[in-house]
Amino acid sequence: MRVDISVVQERYAKMSNEELIRYATLDAKGLTPAAQQVIAYEVDKRNLHPGIFDAVEAQNRDHSEEEIYAYCETLQGLDCPLCRKTVPLNGTFSRQVKAIIFSGHTSDTYTVACPDCLDKTSKTALHKSLLQGWWSPVGIFRTLSAIFIYLRHSKHHHDEAPSPALRQFARLHVGPLTAYRGDRRRLQSIITQ
Ligand SMILES: [Zn+2]
């Protein structure tokens, strides 16, 4: 479907600065070059940080493993958002399952924090799933997947190298990591939940 570019212009022009920044840094993957140019125009017109447009570009290209490692290094050098410790951080992925009669609710979360806080976070998610997840057929299946996810990710919490979950977190956040490069306070906000 072809979208009239004037509709896109109008839509972006109506966004507040905050909405535009959020959209450009997090949701700009797959935008057409024309739509990207409209964002560039808005960023310039509103005198926003040029890194905001770099974030659009970053979301629309592939990244080498080296680039992802560089983003991971940035993340690892931040303060733990849970206990404020300044040891090298890492990442985990956890699944929490709650069975509801014939169905189930699943919440999947990436966490970037110090290794001790990662241990606590993923154990808490697992314990909640073990208490609340079993009580429906779907819940049984999803609780088993939550156990599998726990075993797969928790073994990397204390690694010096970026864990698979941290690398995936970096891939999902190339927008803000690019936009906020060099601004520690804003970078910290990416990992604060
Ligand atoms: Zn911590």
* Tens digit of each residue's pLDDT (9 = 90 or more) over 94-136: 999 998 877 778 999 999 999 999 999 999 999 999 999 888 8
Ligand 1 centroid vs 168 CA: distance in angstroms?
A: 20
Residue with tokens 């450009």, as numbered in its chain:
24
**How many angstroms is it from 175 CA to the middle of ligand 1?**
25
Q: Give the integer Cα–Cα distance in Å for 48 and 50.
A: 6
Distance 47 CA to ligand 1 centre (A): 37
Distance 11 CA to ligand 1 centre (A): 41
pLDDT of 1 over the 70 cut: no
Given a cut of 70, whether residue 174 has pLDDT beyond it is yes
Q: Ligand 1 center to residue 185 CA distance, Å?
A: 17
Quote the CA–CA distance of 131 and 83 in Å, as a whole number.
26
CA distance 141 to 66: 36
Question: Residue 88 Cα, ligand 1 centroid: separation in angstroms?
Answer: 10
Give the three-class secondary structure for 111: strand
Ligand 1 midpoint to CA 153 (Å): 17
Query: Cα(157) to centroid of ligand 1, in Å?
Result: 11
What are phi and psi for residue 106, nearest 5 degrees? Answer: -120, 130
DSSP summary character for residue 95: E
pLDDT digits (tens, 9 = 90+) for 146-167: 999 999 999 999 999 999 999 9
Q: Which residues pair with 94 in a beta bridge?
A: 109
Whole-model pTM: value is: 0.88
Quote the ligand 1 centre to 133 CA distance (angstroms): 27
**How far, in Å, from the CA of 82 to the mean position of ligand 1?**
5
CA-based radius of gyration for the chain:
19
- Cα(95) to ligand 1 centroid in Å equals 19
Closest listed residue to residue 165, CA positions, set 76, 77, 86, 60? 76
Name the band, by pLDDT with cuts 50, 70 and 90, for residue 139. Answer: confident
Question: Cα(1)–Cα(97) distance, rounded to whole angstroms?
Answer: 38
- Where exactly are the structural domains of the chain? 5-59, 78-171
Q: Give me the phi and psi of 57, to 5 degrees please.
A: -60, -45
How far from 107 is each of 110, 131, 144, 159, CA to CA, in Å? 10, 15, 14, 25
